[in-house]
Structure 1
Amino acid sequence: MKMRIFRPFSLLLHEMKFAANMNSNPALFNLLSLSSKRLSTLSSSPNPIIVNYLIQTFGFSQTLANSISNRFWWAKSTENPQSVIHFLRDLGFSEAHIRTSVRVGPQILFSDIDKTLKPKVQFFEQLGLVGADLGKFISKNSKVLTISLEKKLVPCIEILKKTLSDDENNGDLIRVLRRCTWVLSRNPELLLSNIAFLESCGIVGSQLSMLLTRQPRLFVIKQSTLKDLVSRAVDMGFSIESRMLVYALYTISCLRDETLRKKFELFRSWGFTEQECIEMFRRTPGLLRASEEKLKLGMEFFMNTMKFEKTLLVHRPTILMLSMEDRVIPRYRVLQILKSKRLLKREPSFINVLSLTDEEFLDKFISRFADDAEELLVAYKGHTLQEVDE
C-alpha cells in the first residue's frame, strides 16, 4: 500500500499567494490571506465534537482532549472513532487497552479500518500476538498500526526473524517487539547496516541473537553512536572479535556515563586503582550493571568480614554478582556453625563453597551432619522458611 504524501496546506497557500502577487491580482491575494488566517485559527482551536467524545468515552482530561482534538480539527463526526472502538473490542481488547491505545496513538481513531488497521492487526496475529496479548502490545505501541506494512513492518520483521536463531514460535521476536517497537518504525536499511557492522566486530550467530533480544535499540540507533559504544568497549580492554565484546557492549549501552562514573568511583573508594577497575569489568562485564547498594554490601562483606585481599576480587569479581541474601550470607552462617562445633576436618575455601550448586552444598555441609542438620538447615534456609510460615 503506497502512502500518499500531502504538501502542507500552509505551504500551498503561501505559493498561491506568491503566484497571485506575481500576477498582480490583489483580490485573489486578499482572499487567500483570509483563508490562511481562518485555517490557522481552526487548526489551533479545540474541536468540540472530538473533545466531548474523548472526555465522555475515555475520561480524558480537558487538557489532553483539547491537545488531541487540535490535531483533528477537520473531523465532523465521531462515526469513524466509534467504529474503531467497536473493531478493537471485537478483537478482545479490554477497555483499559483501548483507552491507552487512543492516548498513545490517537490517530488510530481516524484511520480506515479495512485499509489501515485490519491488515496490521492480522499481521501481528500471524506472529503470535492474539487476544489479550495483542491488546496489551497495541495499547503500549498503537502507533505501529499506522506504520507502512510493505515498506517497514514486513521487511523489518523478516530481518529480525533471520537474525534471531532457534526462535521457536516467535517467542524471542515478540520479546524484541515488546522491548523496543522502534525496530519497526526505523528504515530497514538502518537495521541491516547495524547488523552488518556488529557482525564485522565478530558479534555473530547466537551472540548477535542474544544482543538483539536483550538490547534491541542498539540495532536501530545511528551507526555513528553504535560505533562509539564499540570504541568505548575496546578502550576498556575488549578486543574486536573477542567473545566478551558483546557483553561489554551490552553493559555500556545499558548505563549512562554518569552511572558508569559512579560505579568506578565506588570501587576506587575501596582502594581499587583505575586499572584494577577495568580488569574487573573485563573479566565480568555484567559487574557494572549491579546496583551500587549490592556492590557496597558485597565489598563490605568480602573485604571487612571475610578479610579478602583486593587482588582476590580483581581476579574473581563474579562473587560480587552473587546474591548476598540467598547464597553468600546463608552459606557463611552454616560454615560458622560447623566451625564452632569443630565438625570440619579442615576449613574449606569460601570461594569454592560459593561456587557449589545448592544441591551440592546441602549434601556436603548439611545432610552429612545428621545430628545438626535441622539447625544448619534453619541457618541456611531460615529466611525462606519464615516466608513460607507467614
Structure 2
Amino acid sequence: MLKRENHLLSADLDKVVKPNAVFLRDCGLGDCDIAKLCIHGPRMLTTNPERVWAMVACAEGIGVPRGSGMFRQALQAVAFLSEEKIAAKVDYLKNTFRWSDAEVSIALRKYPGVLRKSKGSLKRRSEFLVSKVGLEPVYIAHRSDILAYSMEGRLRPRYYVIKFLRQNGLLDRDLSLHTAVKMTEKVFVEKLICPHKEAAPHLAEDYAAACKGELPTNFRFT
C-alpha cells in the first residue's frame, strides 16, 4: 500500500484513517477484506470520510448490500467513479449484452467487477459469448462472473475443447462453458484433456497452443 499511496503516512490518523477503517468494518468488512480493498485502491483509507460514505452508497445503489459476500468487490468497482460514469457503463452493458434493467441489475450483483472492464473487452466478450457460443443474454446475466475470465487464456480455448469433444462423441455429460471456465487449469486438464489421450492424441497440444493465442481453426482428431 505504501508503494502505491505515499500519502498514507501523512494522512490524519484520527480524522481520516481510523474513521474510514471503522466505517468499513461497520459495513461488514473484516480486516483482511479492508486490506485487499485498499491494496487495489489505497486511497480508500486516506480520502475524505464523506467520500468513502458516498462510495458505499454507490455500491448499495448498484444492488449490493452491506454485509453481502460481494460487497467488497462492489465497493472496489465503484470506488472513485462518478455517478455519471457508472450510469454510462451500465447503459453500455445493457446495449452490448442486450440486457434489460432487471438483467443488468442481476449481472452487477453477481459480478460487480464488470464495471471495471473496458468497453473493448466487454464488446469482445459479448461478440464471442452471444454470437459465437450462442448464449442467451439472460443466461450470461445470471452467470456474469464468466466475464471475469480471459478471452484468450480461458474462454476461447475451453470453448473449443468442449465443442471438439461434443462433436466427436467424447463428452459423456452436459457440460456448460460456465462450469468449464470456473475449473482450475489442473482440474480442467485432468477431467477434459487427459482422459482422451488415446482417442484424441493431439488435444493437449492443440489446447496448449490455443491458450497461447495460436488457435487452430479446428482441433485435430487424428
Q: Does the pair score TM above 0.5? A: yes
Cα distance in 2 for residues equivalent to 1:346 and 1:275: 32
Aligned to 1:352: 179
- Residues 228-286 of structure 1, C-alpha deviation per residue, up to 9 Å, x if partnerless? 11111122222233342222111101545454334212221132122322221111121
In structure 2, do the counterparts of structure 1 residues 207 and 306 end up closer, same or farther at CA, with 3 Å as the change threshold? same
Cα distance in 1 for residues equivalent to 2:167 and 2:63: 45
Which runs of structure 2 are paired with 1:1-390 in the superposition (5 Å)?
Answer: 176-189=1-14, 190-253=16-79, 255-269=81-95, 270-383=97-210
In structure 2, do the counterparts of structure 1 residues 207 and 386 end up closer, same or farther at CA, with 3 Å as the change threshold? closer
Q: Which amino acid aligns with 2:43?
A: R
CA RMSD, Structure 1 to Structure 2 (Å): 2.3
Q: Which amino acid aligns with 2:32?
A: S
Give yes or no for contact 2:152–2:213 (8 Å, CA) kept in 1. Answer: no
Give yes or no for contact 1:233–1:245 (8 Å, CA) kept in 2. Answer: yes
Question: CA shift at 1:372, angstroms?
Answer: 4.5
Cα distance in 2 for residues equivalent to 1:274 and 1:385: 37
Q: Which amino acid aligns with 1:186?
A: A
- Residues 310-348 of structure 1, C-alpha deviation per residue, up to 9 Å, x if partnerless? 221111101111111111111122223223333334543
Q: Which amino acid aligns with 1:182?
A: H
Greater relative contact order (CA < 8 Å, ≥ 6 in sequence): 2
In structure 2, do the counterparts of structure 1 residues 185 and 235 end up closer, same or farther at CA, with 3 Å as the change threshold? same
- Residues 217-236 of structure 1, C-alpha deviation per residue, up to 9 Å, x if partnerless? 11111111111111111222
Give yes or no for contact 1:333–1:379 (8 Å, CA) kept in 2. Answer: no
Cα distance in 2 for residues equivalent to 1:317 and 1:295: 11
Unaligned runs of 5+ in 2: 215-222
Please identify, of 347-356 and 292-301, the stretch whose mean Cα deviation from structure 2 is larger. Answer: 347-356
Cα distance in 2 for residues equivalent to 1:276 and 1:335: 27
Give yes or no for contact 2:89–2:115 (8 Å, CA) kept in 1. Answer: yes
Give yes or no for contact 1:238–1:244 (8 Å, CA) kept in 2. Answer: yes
Question: CA shift at 1:302, angstroms?
Answer: 1.5
Larger Rg: 1
Cα distance in 1 for residues equivalent to 2:195 and 2:156: 21
Q: Which amino acid aligns with 2:203?
A: L
Secondary structure of 2:175 counterpart: coil
Cα distance in 1 for residues equivalent to 2:75 and 2:213: 41
In structure 2, do the counterparts of structure 1 residues 385 and 222 end up closer, same or farther at CA, with 3 Å as the change threshold? closer
Question: CA shift at 1:288, angstroms?
Answer: 1.4
- Residues 87-119 of structure 1, C-alpha deviation per residue, up to 9 Å, x if partnerless? xxxxxxxxxxxxxxxxxxxxxxxxxxxxxxxxx
Give yes or no for contact 2:28–2:66 (8 Å, CA) kept in 1. Answer: yes
Cα distance in 2 for residues equivalent to 1:385 and 1:288: 27
In structure 2, do the counterparts of structure 1 residues 386 and 252 end up closer, same or farther at CA, with 3 Å as the change threshold? closer
In structure 2, do the counterparts of structure 1 residues 352 and 246 end up closer, same or farther at CA, with 3 Å as the change threshold? closer
Q: Which amino acid aligns with 2:163?
A: Q
In structure 2, do the counterparts of structure 1 residues 325 and 228 end up closer, same or farther at CA, with 3 Å as the change threshold? same
Cα distance in 2 for residues equivalent to 1:229 and 1:205: 18
In structure 2, do the counterparts of structure 1 residues 384 and 279 end up closer, same or farther at CA, with 3 Å as the change threshold? closer
Give yes or no for contact 1:367–1:373 (8 Å, CA) kept in 2. Answer: no
Secondary structure of 2:3 counterpart: helix
Say which structure is richer in helix.
Answer: 1
Please identify, of 188-197 and 336-345, the stretch whose mean Cα deviation from structure 2 is larger. Answer: 336-345
Q: Which amino acid aligns with 2:206?
A: A
Question: CA shift at 1:384, angstroms?
Answer: 5.3
